[in-house]
Structure 1
Amino acid sequence: MRYLMLVLSTPEDPELRPEDAEGAPPIEDWVEKYYGSGAAVLGDRLRPPGDAVGVRVRGGRTLVTDGPFSETKEAIGGFDVIDAPDLDTAITIASEHPMAHGGAIELRPFWPLDLEQPDQAATGGGA
């Protein structure tokens, strides 16, 4: 199963202690281990929230809003797509990421759209 791993900075986390971040493994080691094994398949850093743009369509009009969007200081700093056989493995991979020590990781399982299912009417499978 694939998971989106959101890499978050959490500067106002009351539980964050300096020694947590100091004990983080180097990002190069995490990348080598998980991208090298194929468990991580795509990832990158993201520009700061101030560079974000929101897009919504309301009443047939496209509305564009400059970031940042939330009142919180927590921000998505990057992402990785990982391929893991189960949630426990995904949690292990996430827990070894350096930002799990100095920030936070959010795991979101993919929810496939299943767009390739045949049309029942075309195959005679209608009600």
Structure 2
Amino acid sequence: MRYLMLVLSTPEDPELRPEDAEGAPPIEQWVARHYGSGAAVLGDRLRPPDDAVGVRVRGSRVLVTDGPFSETKEAIGGFDVIEADDLDTAIAIASEHPMAHAGAIELRPVWPLNLDES
């Protein structure tokens, strides 16, 4: 099963302690392990929220707004798509990511559209 890992910065997390981030493994180690094994199949960093645009359609108008649309304090800093046999395996992979120590990982199962099926 595929899972989307949203890599989040959480600067206002009251439970985040400096020593948590200090114990994080280097990202290169996580990439080598999980991309090297084939468990991670796609991923990248994202530009900062200030570079984002929001796109909405209301009626027949396309509305574009500068910056992030949401009011959240968390920012999505990147993403990875992983393959895992089950949720427990996906959680184990996500827990090894450096941002699980210094921010947060939102893990979501992919819900295939199955467009190929007739």
TM-score w.r.t. the length of structure 1 is: 0.90
Aligned to 2:36: 36
Aligned to 1:109: 109
2:72 & 2:33 partners in 1: Cα distance?
A: 32
Question: Is 1:2 matched with 2:8?
Answer: no
3-state DSSP class of the match of 1:73? Answer: coil
Aligned to 1:63: 63
1:45 & 1:97 partners in 2: Cα distance?
A: 13
Q: Percent same amino acid at aligned positions?
A: 86
Aligned pairs (5 A) from 1:1-127? 1-118=1-118
Give the structure with higher Rg (CA).
1
CA apart distance, 1:68: 2.6
Q: Deviations over 1:18-75 (max 9, x none)?
A: 1100000010000000000000000000000010011111111111111132333210
3-state DSSP class of the match of 2:30? Answer: helix
- Residue 3 of structure 1 aligns to which amino acid in structure 2? Y
CA apart distance, 1:115: 1.5
2:91 & 2:102 partners in 1: Cα distance?
A: 16
- Give the length in aligned residue pairs: 118
1:72 & 1:114 partners in 2: Cα distance?
A: 32
- Which 4+ residue blocks in structure 1 deviate beyond 6 angstroms? none
2:63 & 2:101 partners in 1: Cα distance?
A: 37
- Residue 40 of structure 2 aligns to which amino acid in structure 1? A
1:34 & 1:117 partners in 2: Cα distance?
A: 30
Q: Deviations over 1:81-124 (max 9, x none)?
A: 00001000000000000000000000010001112222xxxxxx
